[in-house]
Structure formats: structure tokens, C-alpha cells
Chains A and B, each alone.
Chain A
Amino acid sequence: MSAMTIDLSMLAFSPPGWGSNLLRGLGHTIEIATGAYAFGLVLGLGGAMGKLSGGPILKVALEVYTTLGRAIPELILILILYYAGPTLLNQLVTAYGYPPLDVNGLAAGIFVLGVVQGAYATEVLRGAIQSIPTGQIEAAKAYGMSGWQRFARIIFPAMIPNAIPGMANLWLNVTKDSALLAVVGFSELMLETRQAAGSTKAYFMFYMAAALLYLALSQVSIFIFNWIERRQRRGQQALA
């Protein structure tokens, strides 16, 4: 049984075909990616605002976070967070007298990837906010809007169109980084593929199938983001 066999029946949806396993893995990949993306954006938004208008200690802490998060390889960060994260969380929780939390796999994966994403998201969103003409923010201040009002009415809506290319990039990165979770044994597309390939020895076919699934995911995502950007930029002047 050569490793180069292209036996498409092995991709079938019902056993003994491994197709449903791969699709289930893809589903997990999308689940983890979506959760991590959302979590990362929340961290990024907080981080961006903190870096722009926070106190000096917050700024330094955020600087360390974004520098470390972007300088250290994602794989290493994932490993450190995967083992250290839940342990530290539980130590925190038990220190307050609660029974230890039983963090399930999905939540752990989202947490780990989300923290990594947050470092990049902070920089992307900060850049987007900084490209808002200061005049608009000052006008808002002149009107007496409070910080929250400024954020909700001026900064946030104006930031979105500038941030979309960066956010699209972040999404593509998180879907690709999710493959690294296979190294720690998370059941997403990469791991399912490795198990299927390992059991059937049809390595080339299964890894190619996985590659095509990721490709489909990224192309669909790019299409959606292009659509979003076109809608957002309606009525705006064309970029120079």
C-alpha cells in the first residue's frame, strides 16, 4: 500500500471513509478560530485603547505583552500557555477558595490562541485608531462628549474601515495558527488528518485534502472580507 495512493473512497463521509472525521476537524478548527479571533479582538481593543490613553504602567505592561507576543514563535507561546495557563488559572481560583475549574479543551484552545492573537490585534487596532484624523476626536471633546461616548460614537465607527485589512489578516493568521494546536494534541483538522493518514498510510492524499480544505476556508474568508470592506467604504473618498 503505497503512500501515494489516491483512493478517493477513503474520503467518503461514512466509515470506513475518513471524510466525516476531516470535516469534523474542520468544524473544530473554525470553532476554535472564531472564539480565539473574538477573544483576541476584545484583548486587542482593550490593549489599543490602553496603549493610546492609558497610564504609564499600563502602557509598559501592554508594550511587554505585544512585544513578547509578536517576538516569540506562536508554537512556543501555545506550548507555554497550554500548560501554564490552566494551572495558573486554577491557582488563582483556588486561592480565592473556589473548587478548581475544569477547563474544557475548546476553552483552553480559544484562550491560548486568543492571547497570541491579542498581541497582534492590539497593534492593528492601534494603527487603525491612530489614522483617524485628530480633528474629529478634538471636535468630539469640544462638544463635551465623555470618553465612552467618544469611543462609541467617533473612534469605533471610524476605526473599523481602517482596521478591516488588518483584521482580515488576523483572521487568516488565526485559522493557520490553529493547525499548530495539533502539536499539543488538540482535535482539529490537522490532528484528524494526521490520524487518518497514519491509519491508512495514504499520507499524500490526506495532507493534500487538508491543504485544500484550508485553502477553501481562506479563499471564502478573503471573499467575505473583501465584501465587508467594499460595504464599509461606501460613501468614503477613495484611498489616495
Chain B
Amino acid sequence: MTDQPLGTAARANPMADGTWASMKLFGYATVAVLIAIGLASWLGDWGWLNRDFVNSQGLKPDYLGQFIAGLGRTLTLLIVSVVVGYAFAIPIGLVQVTGPWPLKWLAKAFCTFIRGTPLLVQLWLLYYGLGSLFPQIPWIRFSPLWPYLRDGFNYALLAFILSFAGYEGEIMRGGFLAVPKGELEAARAIGMSSWTVLRRIWLPRALLVVLPTLSGEVVSQLKSTPLAATVTVFDIYGIGREVQQEMFHTYEPLLLIAAIYGTLTAIIASAFKMVENLVPMKRG
């Protein structure tokens, strides 16, 4: 640091390449470290992970299989909420920049509510608050929709979609505003309709602007998924909790879960890094 020539400004962007590369490296390294510590230490009783493990009641719980199913649920929650949430975020962001003021106000209120309240409150509001309303209405209670309205998973999914849409809506608003006006004016000058401008210029450029933050946002969303376990969803954390209760081990399941989430984070970060390298980013 002291060898830099005078006049060289410090790198202003703390999220420059170095951070993600080291994050990936340390992601793998720390995951390995975590597993090693858990196995080697005196806390380490991992017999229950064996698929043929028989518990004190003579049953085979097959926790490994359950963890894999839980992983599937976590990934489903993550991917669906990110994709659908983003689909909603784009109009939410756009309407705050262009739209008629009632829609603009609605979108702003939505984003403010989502970003100003904990996800846990939103989730419980949906599951307990709204969810208690449905069975009281006969034509909902006995409709073919009922199996979906019963299941905690769908409430968790809805809560995560709305949450992602709220946060990303705000980011997309910033993205749309950041596109240089000159490009939009040029597009209109050559006769493109508003819709075409949006489709060919505005939206893609806005997406390019927000791309660097997307990785962090998806990781954030992954870290919110354990909350689904509070509404009867057996995601990774839900299974971990089950193991904790049935095997009376406090730490091993938690360490295993931490390792799994750490690995997933590292994978997501690396995947986005690769995508970012593919996309030409003009500096300046």
C-alpha cells in the first residue's frame, strides 16, 4: 500500500473482483474447515447421517435422504422466488419512473412496506393472518384451490416472491434512472415506439446496470429461506431442526446446515462471476 506512486487514488469499489474471488476461495476453504472441525471434535456424533441408521425407536429416519429433499425445497423456494420476484420487480421499478401517479404511489408504498418491515412479519402476516381467513370462507374452503392454500410452502413462496419483488423493484428503479438519457432520446428520435424503446434499449441497459448487485441479492434471498421452517416447511433448516430434536444434538445439525448454505453461497457467487465475465461491461 505504501509503494503506490503518489496521485494514485485508492480503489473506490470495495466489491471489485478481488472480493468475490477470495470469497469463493474462502467459501470452499471454510466449508472444508467447518466439516473437519465438526467431525474431529468431541461434539462430533455424525452417525445419524448414515442412511441405515436406526434410532432408539427402531425406525430408519434416513436423515441424509431428508436433507436432500430439504435441499430441493430450499432451491425451489430460492429459484422460483428469484425468477417470479424479478418478473414483478421490473414493472414495479418502471412504473415508479414513468407511470401514472396512482400506480407510482402504489409501487412506492409496496416497496417501502417490504423494505421497512422484517421478512418474518410479512411471512407470519400471510400465513397466520391471511391464512386464517381462508377456511372461514366456504367457497374457498371447499374449492380445488384448497390443497394449495393449506400448505405452508406456498405461503413461504409467496412471501419470498413479494419480498424479492419489493427489494428488486427499488433497485430496478435506480437502474432505469441510471440509463443515460441520451440513449433513450436517440432511440425516440429514430422513431421507435415507447414499447420498442423499453424492449431494446431501456430494459437491457437497466439490467446491465444492476447486474453486479444481483449476485448479492440472490445470496440474500438464499439466506432468507430458513424462515420458511417457521411455517411448517421442511427445508434444509427444517430438517436440521428435526434432527436436533430427535437426536438431542444441538450443534452438529447446525454446523452441517451452515456448511451447506456456505457451499451454496459460494456456488451462486461463482456462477454470477462467470456470467459477469461473459457480459462486456464498459468502464466509465
Contact = CB atoms under 8 A, between A and B. Distances in A.
B124 A134 contact: no
Q: At the interface, is chain A mostly helix, strand, loop or mixed? A: helix
Interface string B1-28: 1101011111111110000001100110
B76 interface: no
A204 B223 contact: no
A6 to B, nearest CB: 11
A207 B128 contact: yes
B121 A210 contact: yes
A63 B226 CA distance: 24
B28 to A, nearest CB: 10
B273 to A, nearest CB: 15
Given A68-B262, A74-B223, A183-B230, A176 B10 contact: no
Interface stretch (B82-90, B203-211, B250-258): B250-258
A176 B261 contact: no
B130 interface: yes
Contact of A67 (B12, B15, B27, B120): B27
B254 A133 contact: no
A127 B19 CA distance: 11
Contacts of B4: 134
23 contacts: A2-B132, A2-B136, A3-B132, A3-B133, A52-B1, A63-B26, A64-B26, A64-B33, A67-B26, A71-B219, A71-B265, A74-B223, A76-B226, A76-B237, A80-B251, A80-B258, A123-B14, A131-B10, A135-B6, A172-B116, A180-B118, A211-B125, A214-B116
Interface of B: 1-2, 4, 6-15, 22-23, 26-27, 29-30, 33, 112-113, 115-122, 124-125, 128-130, 132-133, 136, 219, 222-227, 230, 237, 250-251, 254-255, 257-258, 261-262, 265-266
A132 B254 CA distance: 40
Q: At the interface, is chain B mostly helix, strand, loop or mixed? A: helix
Interface residues of A, number: 56
B14 A126 contact: yes
Interface of A: 2-4, 52-53, 63-64, 67-68, 70-77, 79-80, 83-84, 123, 126-127, 130-135, 138, 141, 172, 175-180, 182-183, 190, 193-194, 197, 203-205, 207-208, 210-211, 214-215, 218-219
Contacts of B128: 3, 197, 203-204, 207
